Amino acid sequence: MLNSMTGYGGKEAEIFNLGKVQLELRSSNHKFLEIVFHLPEVFLSLEERIKKEIEARIKRGRVTCVINILSAQAAPRVFINKRLLKNYIEGLRNIKQELDIQDEVDMDTLIHLPGVLSLVETKAPQAQIWPALKILVNQTLGDLVRMRQREGRALYVYLKTRSGTLKNHLSFVKARFKKAIKDKIAKMQTDDERVSFLKERDITEEIERLGFHIQNFINKISKIGPLGKELDFICQEMQREANTMGAKSFDVGISARVVQIKSQIEKIREQLQNIE
């Protein structure tokens, strides 16, 4: 069945040493598969793994992956550079003796000296983050894929209805042409005149080819897999046959119906831009 390229998936989960993590996947139309990431620094090294999970289930479209850490589980660790602090104290003592300074240096002054006190983020190793993140990625992908499938089913109904309308229009053209050509030929006096007219105005082949393309299109939309590009190619072939029919037409009724056929094909092609 057809899949739309438009969809959304969003999930949250607790991930080791990071707290609550939110993952969002949004997809939209694109000629190929393009994946865009917006990740916190802690997840940057896992980007390629996330990409492979997405590629396994999405074949076409622009997918935006956004990860946010909603509530940090591990607070930053306070780090005191004791070696540097000892050097500061030793240096200050030397200055006191050298300059005969009596004042004592308090702790508040010492910890505010450059490099003495700092906060260190507690980093969780990839081996501990990835298993939980992989589950979150696939759960979110599940939501995204299901939405794309739902929209794909709606598009299938639309395309099947339009295809049925095309078949009805073509049936009218076929019947009308059969009668119109018979009446036109009957009024001609010579065989040369008839041959020349048929050479320029006969649309029998175009009718047959357009009928084949319409049926092929109907058969294809029931298949499983990424079909958007193939369906668009079939529509281009439909359009080519319809244009030739319109150029050859000598009957007002046929010309008017060909305009409607071309309009239907255009509407179908517009919706095909959403098909994976």
pLDDT in tens, 76-95: 566 788 888 788 788 878 88
Q: How confident is the model at residue 119 (pLDDT cuts 50, 70, 90)?
A: low
10, 5, 134: which is closest to 65 by C-alpha? 10
Q: Is the pLDDT of residue 75 over 70?
A: no
CATH number of the domain that residue 143 is part of: 3.30.230.10
pLDDT of amino acid 191: 83
Distance between CA 249 and CA 71 in Å, rounded? Answer: 69
Is residue 185 located within the same domain as residue 155?
yes
pLDDT at residue 73 in the model: 54
> Residue 16: pLDDT band by 50, 70, 90 thresholds?
confident
pLDDT band at 55 (very low <50, low <70, confident <90, very high): very high
**What band does 124 get if pLDDT is binned at 50, 70 and 90?**
low
**Cβ atoms 129, 42 nearer than 8 A:** yes
Q: State whether 254 and 166 are in the same domain.
A: yes
87 and 169 inside one domain: no
pLDDT classification of 247: cutoffs 50, 70, 90 = very high
Token pair 């020349």: residue: 196
> What's the whole-number average pLDDT of the chain?
89
Structurally, the chain folds into a number of domains equal to 3
Which residues are CB-contacts of 226 (< 8 A; sequence separation ≥ 6)?
A: 3, 59, 60, 276
Q: Residue 174 above 70 pLDDT?
A: yes
- Looking at the structure, tell me whether residues 181 and 218 fall in a common domain: yes
Residue 158 lies in a domain: yes
Does an H or E element contain 163, and which?
Answer: helix 126-186
For residues 135 and 22, membership in a common domain is answered with: yes
Radius of gyration of the chain (CA): 35
Residue 71 pLDDT level (bands cut at 50, 70, 90) = confident
In this predicted model, which residue has the larger pLDDT, 122 or 258?
Answer: 258
Query: How far is 23 from 136, CA to CA, in rounded Å?
Result: 7
Instruction: Indicate whether this model's pTM tops 0.85.
Output: no
66 has pLDDT over 90:
yes
- Cβ 63 vs Cβ 26: under 8 Å: yes
* Domain that includes residue 136, residue range: 7-74+124-148
* Range 150-176 average pLDDT: 96
